[in-house]
Amino acid sequence: MIDLHTHSTASDGSLTPRELARAGKAAGLTLMALTDHDNVSGLADFIDEAAAVGLDALSGIELSADVSAGQLHIVGLGIDPADPVLAGFCERILNGRAERNERILRAFADEGIPLTREEVAAFAGDELISRVHFAQALLARGLVASVAEAFERYLGKGALCYRDRYRPSPAECIERIHAAHGLAVMAHPFTLEPDPAALGERVAALRTLGLDGIECYYSAYGTGQTLDLLRIASRNGLFPSAGSDFHGTPKPDICLGALPIPEATCALLRERLGF
Residues of the chain with CATH 3.20.20.140: 2-90+166-272
The CATH fold of domain 2-90+166-272: TIM Barrel (3.20.20)
127 confidence band (pLDDT: 50, 70, 90): low
Looking from the CA of 167 toward its CB, the CA atoms found within 13 Å total: 19
Q: Which CATH number, 1.25.40, 1.10.150, 3.30.60, 1.10.10, labels domain 97-155? A: 1.10.150
The tens digit of pLDDT for each residue in 85-101 reads 999 999 998 888 889 89
125 confidence band (pLDDT: 50, 70, 90): low
What is the rounded distance in angstroms from the CA atom of residue 14 to the CA atom of residue 249? 6
Average pLDDT, stretch 112-133? 83
66 touches 168 (CB < 8 A): yes
233 touches 240 (CB < 8 A): yes
Percent of the chain exceeding pLDDT 90 equals 80
pLDDT at residue 126 tops 80: no
pLDDT at residue 162 tops 80: yes
Residues of the chain with CATH 1.10.150: 97-155
Nearest to residue 74, comparing CAs of 149, 174, 223?
A: 174
Provide the phi-psi class of 28: left if phi over 0, else alpha when psi is between -120 and 50, else beta: left
pLDDT at residue 242 tops 90: yes
pTM given for the model: 0.87
Return the pLDDT at 70.
92
Which residues, in sequence order, are CB contacts of 66 under 8 Å at separation 6+?
167, 168, 169, 170
As a whole number of angstroms, the longest Cα–Cα distance in the chain is 54
The tens digit of pLDDT for each residue in 176-213 reads 999 999 999 999 999 999 999 999 999 999 999 999 99
pLDDT at residue 128 tops 90: no
SS3 239: strand
The tens digit of pLDDT for each residue in 22-80 reads 999 999 999 999 999 999 999 999 999 999 999 999 999 999 999 998 999 999 999 99
